[in-house]
């Protein structure tokens, strides 16, 4: 769906202009309905532009959760020509949208404002239905081409920003999007609700989750001066509430779904709240949780993380230990306590906690990285190298890991691999002269004709040709 927000934010600017720009680039001059290939290309291009601008949440746990949740719902829908991708937009707005090609986006602010997993699952089911019904592709049949002035205005807002032109840019964006969504009607929303409710219930969730989410959003409209952006992109909320209520009273009256299936929803909300840049609000939120339930692990863990960010390490460690006493096998708490032990110089304690966290979750990259750093600090270089190489295999694009590898290889006297990894580090850091220096030094350290020498020679040739 197109993105319309009254909040003027740089994220909203970029998303709005990118969507319209991509539509113009990929749609045929006659604005005929897109083919499947064109839908896929449009969605791919839009996703790439958002990813390149660092708008999407990169947290491994959040992305794993939202993809597992989306895939569960998707498995209950009809076969699609698209491979779906589910992403979280790092923005406090309350919104969700889908683009052609199987891409579904949900704002972090929306997740924070849902009360249980079935509500979030209902949002994803609704957006999946929009993609399955090809609503945007069908919409394009009925639209006229956008004016250059409107596009230029939105591009200016996206790339120049600033409060001075903010209102004008927002007005242009909303006017343009309104022209796109004029026929993106309540019929589309009703179809998405009908299909989405079917997916949701078949996936094992309580169908009331979809209805309850809309009611929560309606409360924001009544009790806040800020209209949730979800309303602006999903018209006819009152009609949708009545329609969903009717479905639940008739078609799904006897269904017995669950509010939660994947269990990680509370932790995902905690992580998103911790990532906010408002410590006072965070502390208030977690203390309110603890006032209702003094043994709430999420509240205690959340307070520990906020105190850590503020540098209140005594309070942080106290809350970490309290949370761990209540949940001794919680890999996230073990990991973050271990990282804080490492950062405060308590290396052996860090290794103990991080080692337990790694045994519980061998895929968590931060655990692997800091376990390697802790081993390195303790002088256990072989174990450090094992951890660093494990991390490299999971995230080969992270330039910093090659620096860690280079240092560790240097400490055990392996100059060839040390120079080679320094070369990769500088290459990925776009410092070709430094990279060439280290690759040439690595070449001298490896026997001529060896596999290592051939790999280094290839790197040298590649950089020399630039």
pLDDT score at 117: 97
pLDDT, tens digit (0-9, with 9 covering 90-100), for 107-146: 999 999 999 999 999 999 999 998 898 877 676 555 444 4
pLDDT, tens digit (0-9, with 9 covering 90-100), for 174-210: 434 444 443 446 788 899 999 999 999 999 999 999 9
Helices (H) and strands (E) in the chain, counts: 24, 3
3-state secondary structure the chain: CCCCCCCCCHHHHHHHHHHHHHHHHHCCCCCCCCCHHHHHHHHHHHHHHHHHCCCECCCHHHHHHHHHHHHHHHCCCCCCCCCCEEEEECCCCCCEEEECCCEEEEEHHHHHCCCCHHHHHHHHHHHHHHHHCCHHHHHHHHCCCCCHHHHHHHHHHHHHCCCCCHHHHHHHHHHHHHHHHCCCCHHHHHHHHHHHHHHHHHCCECCHHHHHHHHHHHHHHHHCCCCCHHHHHCCCHHHHHHHHHHHHHCCCCCCCCECCCCCCHHHHHHHHHHCCCCHHHHHHHHHHHHHHCCCCHHHHHHHHHHHHHHCCHHHHHHHHHHHHHHCCCCHHHHHHHHHHHHHCCCHHHHHHHHHHHHHHCCCCHHHHHHHHHHHHHCCCHHHHHHHHHHHHHHCCCCHHHHHHHHHHHHHCCCHHHHHHHHHHHHHHCCCHHHHHHHHHHHHHHCCCCCHHHHHHHHHHHHHHCC
CATH 1.25.40 fits 329-376+384-389, yes or no: yes
Regions in the chain scoring below 70 on pLDDT:
1-34, 137, 139-185, 221-233, 235
pLDDT score at 385: 98
Structural class in CATH, domain 397-466: mainly alpha
Contact 299, 286 (CB under 8 A): yes
Pairing of strands 103-107, 96-99: antiparallel
Tokens representing residue 322 in the block:
């309290």
Do the domains 397-466 and 329-376+384-389 match in fold? yes
Domain ranges of the chain: 10-249, 277-324, 329-376+384-389, 397-466
pLDDT score at 16: 62
Q: How much is the pTM?
A: 0.82
């Amino acid at each position: 769906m197109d993105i319309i927000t009254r909040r003027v934010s740089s994220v909203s600017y970029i998303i709005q202009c990118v969507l319209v720009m991509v539509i113009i680039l990929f749609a045929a001059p006659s604005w005929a309905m897109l083919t499947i290939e064109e839908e896929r290309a449009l969605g791919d291009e839009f996703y790439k532009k958002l990813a390149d601008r660092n708008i999407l949440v990169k947290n491994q746990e959040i992305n794993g959760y939202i993809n597992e949740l989306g895939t569960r719902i998707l498995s209950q829908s009809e076969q699609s020509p698209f491979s779906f991708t589910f992403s979280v937009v790092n923005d406090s707005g309350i919104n969700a949208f889908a683009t052609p090609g199987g891409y579904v986006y949900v704002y972090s602010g929306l997740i924070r404002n849902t009360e249980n997993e079935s509500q979030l699952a209902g949002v994803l089911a609704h957006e999946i239905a929009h993609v399955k019904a090809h609503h945007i592709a069908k919409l394009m049949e009925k639209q006229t081409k956008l004016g250059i002035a409107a596009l230029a205005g939105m591009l200016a807002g996206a790339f120049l920003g600033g409060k001075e032109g903010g209102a004008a840019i927002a007005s242009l964006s909303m006017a343009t999007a309104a022209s796109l969504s004029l026929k993106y009607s309540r019929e589309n929303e009703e179809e998405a609700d009908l299909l989405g409710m079917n997916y949701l219930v078949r996936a094992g969730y309580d169908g009331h989750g979809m209805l309850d989410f809309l009611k929560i959003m309606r409360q924001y409209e009544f009790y806040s001066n800020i209209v949730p952006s979800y309303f602006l992109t999903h018209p006819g909320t009152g009609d949708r509430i009545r329609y969903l209520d009717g479905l639940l009273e008739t078609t799904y009256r006897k269904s017995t779904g669950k509010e939660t299936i994947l269990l990680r929803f509370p932790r995902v909300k905690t992580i998103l709240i911790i990532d906010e840049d408002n410590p006072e609000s965070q502390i208030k939120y977690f203390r309110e949780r603890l006032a209702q339930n003094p043994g709430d692990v999420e509240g205690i863990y959340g307070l520990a993380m906020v105190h850590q960010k503020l540098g209140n390490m005594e309070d942080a460690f106290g809350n970490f230990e309290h949370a761990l006493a209540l949940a001794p096998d919680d890999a996230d708490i073990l990991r973050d306590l271990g990282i804080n032990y490492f950062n405060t110089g308590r290396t052996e304690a860090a290794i103990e906690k991080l080692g337990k966290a790694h045994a519980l979750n061998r895929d968590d990259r931060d655990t692997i990285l800091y376990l390697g750093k802790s081993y390195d600090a303790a002088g256990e270089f072989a174990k450090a190298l094992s951890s660093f190489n494990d991390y490299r295999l999971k995230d080969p694009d992270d330039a910093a890991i090659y620096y860690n590898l280079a240092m560790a290889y240097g400490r055990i006297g392996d100059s060839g691999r040390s120079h080679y990894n320094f070369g990769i580090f500088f290459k990925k850091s776009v410092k070709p002269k430094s990279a060439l220096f280290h690759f040439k030094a690595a070449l001298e350290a490896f026997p001529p004709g060896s596999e290592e020498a051939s790999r280094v020679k290839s790197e040298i040739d590649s950089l020399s040709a630039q």
